[in-house]
Amino acid sequence: MPTLAVYDMNNSKVGDIELSAEIFDVEINEALVHQAVVMQLASRRLGTHATKTRGMVRGGGRKPWRQKGTGRARAGSRRSPLWRGGGTIFGPHPRSYAFTMPRKQRRLALKCVLTDKIKNQNLIVLEDLNFDEPKTKKFVEFQKTFGVDKCKALFITREIIDNVVRSSNNLQNAKAISALQLNVYDILNCEKLFLTKDAVEKIQEVYA
């Protein structure tokens, strides 16, 4: 069972916390993590691309020339895909790229990336995370306290804390979410992962 130190917002150690081995100490399955990331990114695709078939192209109501006697190929419509300005053969049409994975696989992928953060010492547990008011400057000062102002960091609280989210919104290298918004892509996309103590409890409550 992994044990981590707990820090306050001034980067001072205030205690220790034992993490569930069922979540934070599992065997890493890279193929499963890759599939989870592909699934998440695929669901973000709009899939609004479209081309016109010959039935959608304007014009072509009458036969361009008679069937025989002209020496030219037989043609029935100017909308033919063989003609310039005609329809498109096998072109893309609006579709959804989303697909799903079994729930157990999604959860295991999440546990794998959390385990990876601990093994690489990139997971930090905070006693609490909140601000008196939404202020980007205060959030940057907080980042500098932990030396993460120059790298991507993900901050996870038990519930959505408005002051924290609004304080980090203007920063490209910081993102704040709640424990229930936890996902594989965001964890992999950050260099440092911050979890509040109550967020750890929520994650263990949901995923254990």
Sole residue written with tokens 């990114």: 41
Confidence at residue 2, expressed as pLDDT on a 0 to 100 scale: 82
Instruction: Report the pLDDT averaged over residues 11-16.
Output: 90
- Main-chain phi, psi angles of 16, to 5 degrees: -130, 160
Between CA 81 and CA 200 the distance in angstroms is 59
| CB neighbour class for 8 (10 Å; exposed up to 12, middle 13-18, buried from 19) | middle
Confidence at residue 142, expressed as pLDDT on a 0 to 100 scale: 92
pLDDT band at 166 (very low <50, low <70, confident <90, very high): very high
DSSP line for 27-39: ---HHHHHHHHHH
Confidence at residue 187, expressed as pLDDT on a 0 to 100 scale: 95
Percent of the chain whose predicted confidence (pLDDT) is above 90: 85
pLDDT digits (tens, 9 = 90+) for 57-95: 988 788 999 999 999 999 989 999 999 989 999 999 999
| CB neighbour class for 176 (10 Å; exposed up to 12, middle 13-18, buried from 19) | buried
Residues recorded for the chain:
208
Name the nearest CA neighbour of 8 among 190, 146, 203, 207. Answer: 146
* 116 has a pLDDT exceeding 90: yes
Q: What pTM did the predictor assign?
A: 0.83
pLDDT digits (tens, 9 = 90+) for 181-197: 999 999 999 999 999 99
* 161 has a pLDDT exceeding 80: yes
Strands 3-7 and 13-18 turn out to be: antiparallel
Instruction: Report the pLDDT averaged over residues 171-182.
Output: 93
Sole residue written with tokens 């008011």: 133
User: What is the pLDDT of the chain when averaged over all its residues?
Assistant: 93
Helix (H, G, I), strand (E, B) or coil at 153: strand
Between CA 17 and CA 162 the distance in angstroms is 26
